[in-house]
Chain A
């Protein structure tokens, strides 16, 4: 389970900030829909 840190309070939603690290080349980024590999979550069909 995710452990909250002392900056967080209850009854609030948190999305971690993206920290810039690496970047795909522009063409690969266009094809994937993002230039950030850490934000790329492709869909795998499960209901068939």
Chain B
């Protein structure tokens, strides 16, 4: 069960509307290394984790990723705000507009819809934790490429916050991997 805090985890400011940047940033909403994929991956893998600590960390981080999803949605919405049809066409978002107007939808940067095929739930806790660590590194790299694409200091401030969280999550998954491996080793010899 969840409790909802009626504010964002971190402020989501943009300096100005920027349709092109919205198009790039939306990949962290519905792309392969985005926040939706991260959240749903951790929240479903938690059931087969062998220790309470591992279940707990996947629940905690999966929940925090939902908070990040909300920040990305807010940023995309603000970047698209008051965009004219002409600006939408210039950013090559006419195809998106035809399907969704300026609604925030789960797609990657090229408009491909989110798919569960982006994530895995293998049932092997060691394999799944390695995927989770890789996911954090891929999301960190995505934030770096997005910062390179953006010249908006307000937007970059929020992207830097989200990038740092990926590093912290990698550390927690790494510690969890160690706990899980020790637990599985101990089981082999009673």
Contact = CB atoms under 8 A, between A and B. Distances in A.
B178 A39 contact: no
B118 interface: no
A33 B171 contact: no
Contacts, number: 56
B131 interface: no
Interface of A, helix, strand, loop or mixed by DSSP: loop
A42 B10 CA distance: 17
A35 B41 CA distance: 26
Interface residues on A, range: 20 to 34
B178 A17 contact: yes
A13 B175 CA distance: 11
Interface stretch (B15-23, B27-35, B87-95, B161-169): B161-169
Given A33-B165, A47-B148, A42 B160 contact: yes
Contact of B175 (A17, A33, A47, A48): A17
B130 interface: yes
Interface string A7-48: 000001111111000000000001111101001111101011
A39 B148 contact: no
B177 A45 contact: no
Given A16-B174, A17-B178, A33-B163, 17 more contacts: A13-B133, A13-B174, A13-B177, A15-B170, A15-B173, A15-B178, A17-B175, A33-B160, A33-B167, A39-B167, A40-B164, A41-B164, A42-B160, A42-B164, A43-B143, A45-B148, A48-B148
Q: Which 3 A-B pairs have the closest CB atoms?
A: A15-B174, A33-B164, A33-B161
